[in-house]
Chain A
Amino acid sequence: MVNRPEFQEDLAAIHRDMIHLGSMAEAAINKAMQALRENNAVLAHEVIQGDDAIDNLEREITQECVRLIARQQPRASDLRDITANMKLVTDLERIADHAEDIAGNTLAIIDSGLTIEIPSDFLMVNDLVTHMLHEALDAYVSRDLSLAYHVIRTRNRIGFVGQGLSKLIVDTMLDQPRLIPALVQLILVANHLQRAADHTQNVAEWIVYHLRGTYVSELDELPSEDELDRRTDSESAPSYLGDDSDTSETEE
C-alpha cells in the first residue's frame, strides 16, 4: 500500500474519471436504444458525436494509469487497482463504441424509410443490458462484490434470450422480405447489444478481480447470494439487489 497522499489523490482522480467514463457509456447505450425505439435521428447523431469525448477520456485515463505506475511504483492492492482500471477502461470504451454502432444502424433503418416493429424480446434484451451496465457502475462506485457477481449472472440470461431473438428476426425476414434491409440492421443491433453485454460482464469481472484479487473463470460456479451475504458483510447487499423486475428506466 503506497501511503503517499499524492498517490492516493491521483488514484481517486482516476476513479472519478472512470465513473465519468462509465456514465458516458451508459448514457450512450441508453440514448442509442432510445433513438432506435423512437426512430429519432437527432438522438442517433448525438450518440455518434459524443463518442470522440469518450475515446479521449479513455486515452487520458490509460495514460494517467501508466504515469502512476511509472512514478509511484505501487504494489499489492494498489497495483491491482490500477491494473483493473486499465482493463476496465477498455471495456467501457468498447461499450460506448457499440452504442455508436447501434446509432449508425438506427440511422440506416431511418434512411431505409422502412417501419419495423421492434420485437418485445428485443426490448427485453435492451432492458437487461442497460440494467447490467447500471448495476456494474453501482458495483464499481460502491465496491460491491455481490452486485458485481449479480451482473455476471445476468449475462447468462441474456445469452438465453438472444438466441431466440435472432431466430425471430430471421422468421420475420422470410415473412416480409420487403423489410429485409431494416431487419438486417436490427440483427446487427442485437449483436452489438450482446457484445456490449459481454463487455459489461468483463467490467464486472474486473471489479471482482480488483476487490478479491481472483479471476472469475467461466468454469467457476458463481457464489450464491446467500454465500455472498456471508462473505461480504457490511459493505454490500443493497436492498434492490436481485430485483430483476426493476427495468422501468428503459421502459419509458
Chain B
Amino acid sequence: MRKKITMIVIIVLVIAILATSIIAISEARKMNRKTTRNHVIAITNWLTTEHSQSSDLIHDAKMLIDHHVARDIPLRVTLIRTAGEVIYDSEAEDLESHLTRPEVQKVLKTGQPAEEIRYSKTLEYDLYYYAALIVDSDIIVRIAYPLSLEDDTVRSVRTHVLLIGLISILLMGAVLAFAIQKISQPLETITESFERLAGGITATRIEESHQVYPEVRRLSASYNRMADTLEEQQASLKQKQSFLDALIGNLASPIVVIDERADVIFINERGMQTFRRFIDPVKHPYPLFLLTHDEEISERAIALISGQTQDRELVKTLTTSEGTRSYHLTLSPLHERRVAILFHDRTAEAEAALLRSDFVANVTHELRTPLTSIRGMIDTLRSGRVMSQEQADRFLQLMEVESERLERLVSDLLILSDIEQSPIKLNEDYFDLTELANEVITQLEPYASEESVTLKLSQSDRFHVSANRDRVKQLIMNLLDNGIKYNRPGGTVTLSWSAFDIRETSDDRQNLSRLTFSVEDDGVGISESDQSRIFERFYRVDRSRSQEPRGTGLGLAIVKHIALLYNGDVSVQSRLGIGTIIHASLLVPVEKQE
C-alpha cells in the first residue's frame, strides 16, 4: 500500500511539473521571440530610415555587426538591390542571388517589410530573417538574427524549472513517506495482532493513545474490544471444557458415545476400567458390542438415532470387570447422529429394593402368625367344642401369650422406625451407667431365672454418660435378652463396658469417647456363616425357633441401629458350643467417676 501511494503521488507530481515546465518554456520562448523580433525590426527601421547612401549604409551595418559580435551575437546583414546585386553581406563568401529568398520575394512583391523563420542547415539552428526596402531607394536590407541565442534563455528557464521540480519531488516524497509511515505503522501493528489472534496465540492489545489519526485510533479500539470479547469467550469455553472433562473423567459411571453404526467414538476412564478395554476409540473405533456383548443396546441406540423410538431408558444385566451387575442405561441423542450412553450401576439399589420387600414380607409374616393363632383359638372357643373350664383357661393363657408377642413385635417395630426416622436429641440425658445396668438386670432377672441363666455385671468403671437414656437402656436390654435367649440352662450372661478417648473430636466441641458394651454368654454359639447376618432384621440363626413367643427377630437389629445412631458399630465373636461375645460401641461423651 505504501509503495502504491508513493508511486501514484510521484507520477502525479512528475506530470504536474512537466506540464508546468512545458507551459513555462513555451511562454518564455514566445516572449523571447517577440523581443527578438522587436529588436530586429528596430535595427532594420534604423537602417532603412536614417540611411540612403550605400556607403553609409555599409558602414552602419558593419558597426551594427561589430556591436552585436562584441556581445557574441552572430548577426548577419545583407544589402541587396532590387535588381538582384548584393551590395554587402557580413558573411561574404556566399554571394549568390538572394532574390529567391521568400522574405525578399515578399518585399519585392508588396514593397512592405517581410519576415521569415527558417532553419539553417549549415548553422544547425533557427534563424529569424527580416527584410525591408530602404526608403526612397532600391536597396533591400535583410537581417538574419540567430534564434539559437534566445533558446539559451529558454534552456536556462527549463533547467531551473526541472531543478525546482526535482527538489519538490524529493521533498514531497520525504513528507509523503513520513505521512504514510504514520498511517501504515499502526495498521501493520494491528495486522500483526490480528495474525497472532488468528494463529491462536494470546491476543495482544494495541496502545490506543499513541495513535495520531482518529480513524486508526477507532480501529485500534475496536480491535482491543474484539480481543477482549474473544478472550473472555475463549476463557469461558476453556473453563466449560475443563469442567466437562473433569466431570466426565471422574464420573463414577461409564459413559460411552457411539455413532450411527453403533461404533464407539468416546469412552470415559471409568468405562475403560469397567469394560476392561483400554483401546483408544479415536484411533481404533470398534463396535459397542465388543464392550457390552449385548445386541439390544446397539439396536436401541440405532433406532433412537433414526427416530424409530423415543425410549431412552434400558435396564440390562451385563458382565463387566465388576462382575454380573444390573445397569440402568440412559441413552441421550447428541448432534451429528450420535448417542451418549450412561451406564448406571443399580445393583445396590436393586438389592436395597429386594431388602425392603423382604422386610415387608417378613413383617407381614411375623404379624400374621400370632394373629392366626388367636383367630384359631377364638374360633375354637366359639364353636363350643371346648367343654372344660380348664381347657378354656389354657386357651386364654395361650391367647394372652400370643397377644403379648404381637405387642412386643409392634413395639419393636415402633422403636426401629423411631430410630430410623425421628431425629432425637442424642445427648439429652446425663446418667450413671452402673445404675442403669442394674436397673435392666433387675428387670430381666425373672426371665433369666425362668431360663436358669445367671445375669452378671462385671467389675467395670463407673461412668457418667451423656446420651439418650432410653436408647442406651434399650440397647443393654436387647443385648442381655439375646444372651439369655440363646443360652443353655445353667449358663451365665456377663455385661461389661469400657471406654477410651478419641482424640479427633468431631464437629461439636464435646470430647467424645468410644464406649463399648460387651455381652458374653456361654451358650450355643453362632456359626461363622451366620455371624454376618445376625444383625439383620428378622434373621434367626435357628429357623425352628422363630415360633418361640419371646423373640421378635428385631432385638439385635435395634442394637445395631442404636449403635449406628451414635456413629458406633457392632461386632460379634463366637465359637459353636463355646459361646458368643457381642460388642456394641457408641461415640458419646463419657465422664469417669472416682
* Residues of chain A at the chain B interface (Cβ within 8 Å): 16, 19-20, 22-24, 26-27, 30-31, 34, 134, 137-138, 141-143, 238-240, 246, 248-249, 251-252
> Once the chains bind, are B319 and A34 in contact (CB under 8 Å)?
yes
> Once the chains bind, are B321 and A248 in contact (CB under 8 Å)?
yes
Q: How far is the CA of A249 from the CA of B324 in the complex (A)?
A: 9
> Once the chains bind, are A239 and B284 in contact (CB under 8 Å)?
no
For B, the interface residue count at a CB cutoff of 8 angstroms equals: 20
Nearest 8 CB-CB pairs, A to B? A252-B323, A27-B293, A142-B284, A142-B279, A141-B286, A23-B290, A238-B278, A23-B289
The answer, yes or no, to whether B115 is at the interface (CB within 8 Å) is no
B residues less than 8 Å from A246 (CB atoms): 276
- Provide a sorted-by-A list of 20 A–B residue pairs whose CB atoms are within 8 angstroms: A16-B261, A16-B263, A19-B290, A20-B289, A20-B290, A23-B287, A27-B293, A31-B319, A34-B319, A138-B278, A138-B279, A141-B277, A141-B290, A142-B283, A238-B279, A239-B278, A252-B319, A252-B322, A252-B323, A252-B324
A residues less than 8 Å from B289 (CB atoms): 19-20, 23-24
Closest Cβ of chain B: how far from A133's Cβ, in Å?
Answer: 12
The answer, yes or no, to whether B280 is at the interface (CB within 8 Å) is yes
Residue of B nearest to A139 (CB): B279
B residues less than 8 Å from A27 (CB atoms): 293
Q: How far is the CA of A22 from the CA of B286 in the complex (A)?
A: 12
The answer, yes or no, to whether B320 is at the interface (CB within 8 Å) is yes
> Once the chains bind, are B293 and A26 in contact (CB under 8 Å)?
yes
Q: How far is the CA of A143 from the CA of B286 in the complex (A)?
A: 12
Q: How far is the CA of A25 from the CA of B278 in the complex (A)?
A: 19
B316-370: which have CB < 8 Å to A? 319-324
Residue of B nearest to A141 (CB): B286
Given the contacts A142-B284, A249-B319, A252-B322, A137 and B278 also touching, CB distance less than 8 Å: no
Closest Cβ of chain A: how far from B530's Cβ, in Å?
Answer: 22
Closest Cβ of chain B: how far from A144's Cβ, in Å?
Answer: 8
> Once the chains bind, are A240 and B287 in contact (CB under 8 Å)?
no
A residues less than 8 Å from B284 (CB atoms): 141-143
B residues less than 8 Å from A31 (CB atoms): 319
B residues less than 8 Å from A252 (CB atoms): 319, 322-324
Q: How far is the CA of A24 from the CA of B279 in the complex (A)?
A: 18
Closest Cβ of chain A: how far from B421's Cβ, in Å?
Answer: 36
A residues less than 8 Å from B283 (CB atoms): 142
A residues less than 8 Å from B279 (CB atoms): 138, 141-142, 238
> Once the chains bind, are B319 and A30 in contact (CB under 8 Å)?
yes
> Once the chains bind, are B278 and A19 in contact (CB under 8 Å)?
no
B293-304: CB near A (< 8 Å → 1, else 0) gives: 100000000000
Residue of B nearest to A248 (CB): B321
Q: How far is the CA of A63 from the CA of B286 in the complex (A)?
A: 22
Q: How far is the CA of A251 from the CA of B321 in the complex (A)?
A: 9
Closest Cβ of chain B: how far from A92's Cβ, in Å?
Answer: 13
Q: How far is the CA of A246 from the CA of B278 in the complex (A)?
A: 13
Residue of A nearest to B286 (CB): A141
Residue of B nearest to A16 (CB): B287
**Which of A24, A134, A142 is packed against the most chain B CB atoms within 10 Å?**
A142
B253-288: CB near A (< 8 Å → 1, else 0) gives: 000000001010000000000001111100110110
> Once the chains bind, are B320 and A249 in contact (CB under 8 Å)?
yes
Q: How far is the CA of A73 from the CA of B68 in the complex (A)?
A: 110
Residue of B nearest to A12 (CB): B285
Q: How far is the CA of A166 from the CA of B319 in the complex (A)?
A: 29
**Which of A16, A34, A251 is packed against the most chain B CB atoms within 10 Å?**
A16
> Once the chains bind, are A23 and B293 in contact (CB under 8 Å)?
yes
Q: How far is the CA of A22 from the CA of B277 in the complex (A)?
A: 14
> Once the chains bind, are A19 and B324 in contact (CB under 8 Å)?
no
Q: How far is the CA of A19 from the CA of B277 in the complex (A)?
A: 13
**Which of A23, A31, A137 is packed against the most chain B CB atoms within 10 Å?**
A23
Closest Cβ of chain A: how far from B282's Cβ, in Å?
Answer: 11
Closest Cβ of chain A: how far from B288's Cβ, in Å?
Answer: 10
Closest Cβ of chain A: how far from B204's Cβ, in Å?
Answer: 36
Q: How far is the CA of A217 from the CA of B254 in the complex (A)?
A: 40
Q: How far is the CA of A23 from the CA of B295 in the complex (A)?
A: 11
Closest Cβ of chain B: how far from A132's Cβ, in Å?
Answer: 13
A residues less than 8 Å from B320 (CB atoms): 249
Closest Cβ of chain A: how far from B448's Cβ, in Å?
Answer: 44
A residues less than 8 Å from B319 (CB atoms): 30-31, 34, 249, 252
> Once the chains bind, are A138 and B293 in contact (CB under 8 Å)?
no
Residue of B nearest to A28 (CB): B293
Q: How far is the CA of A34 from the CA of B276 in the complex (A)?
A: 18
A residues less than 8 Å from B277 (CB atoms): 138, 141
